[in-house]
Structure 1
Amino acid sequence: MAIAVGRVIFLAQPYSSSAAFISKTKCRPSLFLKNSIFPAKSRITQRNYRTTVRAQERPTWLPGLDPPPYLDGTLAGDFGFDPLGLGENPESLKWYVQAELVHARFAMAAVAGILLTDLLRVTGISNLPVWYEAGAVKFKFANTQTLFLVQLILMGFVETKRYMDFKNPGSQARDGPFLGIEASLEGLEPGYPGGPLFNPLGLAKDIKNAHEWKLKEIKNGRLAMVAMLGIFVQAYVTHVGPIDNLVEHLSNPWHRTIVQTLANSGS
């Protein structure tokens, strides 16, 4: 800590790669400075500023851990987590980023769909099957083989286009390659389609400067992936849906917990 006349400068030692920021705020001189050191300059010192220089440690998944050099904080949701070193290759890192983004979006859609349909089933509003049996339901308007074939064609088409846009960014936004609906998609960058179909509210149109929106999406997506893992385990252990598990827990919170459930499942 260094103290200068009328200014106080605090220097904090950074722990890892850090960004320093400087904030200036008006301050009044202390009684000690006013009366003991420079009494004649008290009015001048009242207009002085205190400059604080503080090294801000970059947040990491484990506090105090130095992130690997290839994770420099520029990616959305980058907290330096790569214990296996999978992102050392820059090309592989780009693909892993896209893969995580797609899985996060699928997980968010899956969690919302499972909770909604399970709530409708438990409350008796609709006669729906539990989520892990929905795939075996026979529909009257088409047989299972037809539905599977249609899904395979549609998802295969979309995933192929997504891969082509990843390999050659912007190629799928040109006229023609997307059945003439390119204007409705208005791709922003690989992994972030826009337009009225995928961005009806017009959020984050300036995708290059939408770091906050990207961070919120990937955080919610990671939470959804963890939630899906929990839903899988619950279904395997209890053979009921998540809303059933919640209702059972609320009926006796102190004795209907995950500990008792796992203990009873093994007996």
Structure 2
Amino acid sequence: MALAANTHGRVVHTCTLSSKPPTLFSRSTAAVPGHHAHSLRARFEVRAIAERATWLPGLDPPTYLDGTLPGDYGFDPLGLGEQPEDLKWYVQAELVHCRFAMAGVAGILGTDLIRVSGISNLPVWFEAGATKFDFANTTALFFVQLLLMGFVETKRYMDFLHPGSQAKEGTFLGIEASLEGLQPGYPGGPLFNPMGLAKDIENAHEVKLKEIKNGRLAMVAMLGFIVQASVTHAGPIDNLLTHLSDPFNKNIVHALTSS
């Protein structure tokens, strides 16, 4: 029997089976209750660690990123999550940014389609913030948004500090039962989970993974929208139509070189 340390810093047992019969100075694994089962579990654990997908093939992930978090591929080149409390905060920060990015991408593409198709005379997304509305002035809208977002973010932060505290009776206008905050970052309930896709949030690993993957893709898309707007001064649908009209001459390479 040999001892081997895995990538998580734990010591696991490995066992080599021999065809030689047991002697006075050798011990059969069958003589130790549960030894064979333990050896098999250890081998499966080592194999699972060896086959774990990482953001860079062959990378040895940090010990604090053990693969239990949704979308954990061992990516932390700056070591920001070394402290457990910092890691919890960064997980929540990424989750919120993913959701904002997904909402932003959907909003930009939806309004751009309406604008380009001529259904409504909407401003392009990077000029929408300067639009003046008849029902309220810009200053009033800014302070209303500041108050609403401040309230929501404060509630989220309090739930992060004290999980489940914001779903207690009397904490939110009497509709706490509709939120059912079972885990930080996942309020759930009829308001945030109307289809009941993740009622058992503790075991909703596949749904969490899909959300974080789509959120990361949305953040990359938002970065692309920003770069496109800065270079071409046009919306994403306009950029797509321009590219499709002449793919070989109207693409990102020509746009960057001409700018």
TM, length-normalised to structure 2: 0.81
* Equivalent in the alignment of 2:53: 59
Aligned equivalents of 2:190, 2:164: Cα separation in 1: 18
What is the CA-CA distance between 1:188 and the residue it aligns to? Answer: 2.2
Output one character per residue of 1:140-167: Cα deviation in whole Å (capped at 9) or x when no partner. Answer: 1111111111111111001000000000
Output one character per residue of 1:1-55: Cα deviation in whole Å (capped at 9) or x when no partner. Answer: xxxxxxxxxxxxxx967xxxxxxxxxxxxxxxxxxxxxxxxxxxxxxxxxxx873
- Correspondences of 1:187-206 after superposition (within 5 Å): 187-206=181-200
Letter in structure 2 aligned against 1:247: L
* Equivalent in the alignment of 2:152: 158
* Equivalent in the alignment of 1:32: none
What is the CA-CA distance between 1:64 and the residue it aligns to? Answer: 0.7
* Equivalent in the alignment of 1:105: 99
Aligned equivalents of 2:165, 2:182: Cα separation in 1: 12
Q: Give the unaligned 5+ runs of structure 1.
A: 1-14, 18-52
Q: What SS class does the counterpart of residue 153 from structure 1 fall into?
A: helix
Structure 1 runs of 4+ off > 3 angstroms? none
Q: Is the 8 A contact 1:16 1:64 kept in 2?
A: no
Q: Is the 8 A contact 1:16 1:58 kept in 2?
A: no
Q: Is the 8 A contact 1:188 1:205 kept in 2?
A: no
Letter in structure 2 aligned against 1:121: R
Q: Is the 8 A contact 2:115 2:122 kept in 1?
A: yes
* Equivalent in the alignment of 1:230: 224
Q: Which of these residues, 169, 187, 193, is aligned with residue 175 of structure 1?
A: 169
> Which one has the largest radius of gyration?
1
Q: Which of these residues, 197, 210, 221, is aligned with residue 216 of structure 1?
A: 210
Output one character per residue of 1:178-210: Cα deviation in whole Å (capped at 9) or x when no partner. Answer: 121101111121000111111110111000100
* Equivalent in the alignment of 1:129: 123
Q: Give the unaligned 5+ runs of structure 2.
A: 1-5, 9-42
* Equivalent in the alignment of 1:247: 241
More strand by share: 1
What is the CA-CA distance between 1:92 and the residue it aligns to? Answer: 0.3
RMSD: 1.7
Aligned equivalents of 1:264, 1:188: Cα separation in 2: 52
Aligned equivalents of 1:161, 1:178: Cα separation in 2: 9
Q: What SS class does the counterpart of residue 92 from structure 1 fall into?
A: helix
Letter in structure 1 aligned against 2:149: M
1:141 aligns with 2:138: no
Aligned equivalents of 1:177, 1:146: Cα separation in 2: 27
Fraction of identical pairs, as percent:
77
- Correspondences of 1:59-78 after superposition (within 5 Å): 59-78=53-72
Aligned equivalents of 1:122, 1:16: Cα separation in 2: 53
- Paired residue total: 218
Q: Which of these residues, 165, 180, 196, is aligned with residue 186 of structure 1?
A: 180
Output one character per residue of 1:91-127: Cα deviation in whole Å (capped at 9) or x when no partner. Answer: 0000000000000000000000000000110110111
Aligned equivalents of 2:78, 2:105: Cα separation in 1: 28
Aligned equivalents of 2:144, 2:90: Cα separation in 1: 28
Q: What SS class does the counterpart of residue 232 from structure 1 fall into?
A: helix
Aligned equivalents of 1:188, 1:138: Cα separation in 2: 40
Q: Is the 8 A contact 2:109 2:237 kept in 1?
A: yes
